[in-house]
Amino acid sequence: MRLLRLPLLALLLLPALPGADETRSLLRAVDTVAPAILAEAADKALQAPLITIVDKEKPSPTGDAHDYISYARYWWPDPAKPDGLPFIRKDGYHNREQVDAGDRKKIDHLVDSVTALALGWSKLHREECARQAGDWLRAWFVTPATRMKPALDYAQVRLGHSQNLGNASGVLDTRTFAELVEALRLLQGSPALTVADEAAVRQWFTDYFHWLGTGASALGEHKAENNHGSWFLVQAVAIARYLGRDDVAQKLCEEDRARIGWQFAPDGSQPLELEREDGLHYSFFNLDAQLQLAEQARRLGVDLWHYTAPNGGSLKGGLAYIRPYNEAPEKWPHKEREVLAKNFMRELLERTAALEEAPVLPAKRM
């Protein structure tokens, strides 16, 4: 999606990793990717600088550099106020300066690097990839001097609102932790982490998963009926599975049936996403989340891909609604400020084809 990469201006002078969507596509379709492409991604990851949560350009406004902090991308200074506060929302207009002031791109850099390195180990058997992945994981989740606090209390701050605390939308920032825990699976048994380090990383995610179930922002995001609720489930289910909590993961997947009914109209449109200034972008964005969740749910005996809600809404209907615009996004009949690139659905369509063919595994007995 249209998210900026890399946290510091100086990094622009260094070899860049593939974009987030490209790197995670490698993870999802690794069995069909040429070894040369995996090798290129691994080489770039090996050259990438290790950036941690404490590498902030300015002192953290919370007073603790270990706090994750980010700023809402569609919020701007109020021109009618001398100090611009409180900020006002302008949907579809990216406040890139605000985004760059926070830690959002550090998360992308972490996940992209560890994913590429984990694939370098698991598919190319390159020990240096595993060891460098371990360096990243220790720095972010183990080492006291650099580890991130396992919470998002200051994510997507809207300056001048809520005492400059974060809000529920900020939980979206770590949706890619779903890919990160999959990379952790690939690294099991590798030289990446000692037994003690692996236990420490797992404890970090245990603490973070607890926050997802108790933190005020997390509880708000869990209730969200639009794409935010979908992405909450994507990361929560993935982390639950990583922690061996398939019982919780299965319940979260089953819960999504109600959300499908909230999100998809009988004609396949997504009314909550069509309210946005970039309706095609957000319809695609939510469908991407729902398909990732369906892929996880299938492994837990929950079939979301073939499900039709009582109102007639379904994931298949959602796909059919936006599919005609894959080749001609400029013909989208609703609001869209930034026209998407032609064939923007390519990877998503490949995944839906795989969902059609893949069997739903038997439900686990709880």
Residues 168 and 233 in one domain: no
Residues 336 and 198 in one domain: no
Q: Please tell me the predicted confidence (pLDDT) of residue 13.
A: 29
Residues 136 and 209 in one domain: yes
pLDDT in tens, the chain (366 residues): 222 223 322 222 233 444 445 555 566 656 667 889 999 999 999 999 999 999 998 889 999 999 999 999 999 999 999 999 999 999 999 999 999 999 999 999 999 999 999 999 999 999 999 999 999 999 999 999 999 999 999 999 999 999 999 999 999 999 999 999 999 999 999 999 999 999 999 999 999 999 999 999 999 999 999 999 999 999 999 999 999 999 999 999 999 999 999 999 999 999 999 999 999 999 999 999 999 999 999 999 999 999 999 999 999 999 999 999 999 999 999 999 989 999 999 999 999 999 988 888 776 654
Residues 212 and 279 in one domain: no
Residues 193 and 234 in one domain: no
Residues 203 and 249 in one domain: no
pTM: 0.91
Domain limit, last residue, from 165, 196, 223: 223
Cα(351)–Cα(363) distance, integer angstroms? 22
Residues 50 and 21 in one domain: yes
- Number of domains within the chain: 2
Q: What is the CATH number of the domain that holds 133?
A: 1.50.10.100
Q: Please tell me the predicted confidence (pLDDT) of residue 5.
A: 29
Q: Please tell me the predicted confidence (pLDDT) of residue 4.
A: 26
Residues 69 and 148 in one domain: yes
Residues 161 and 253 in one domain: no
Domain limit, last residue, from 169, 194, 223: 223
Residues 267 and 137 in one domain: no
Residues 173 and 322 in one domain: no
Domain, as residue range, for 302: 227-366
Domain limit, last residue, from 223, 252, 283: 223
Q: Please tell me the predicted confidence (pLDDT) of residue 361.
A: 79
Residues 211 and 252 in one domain: no
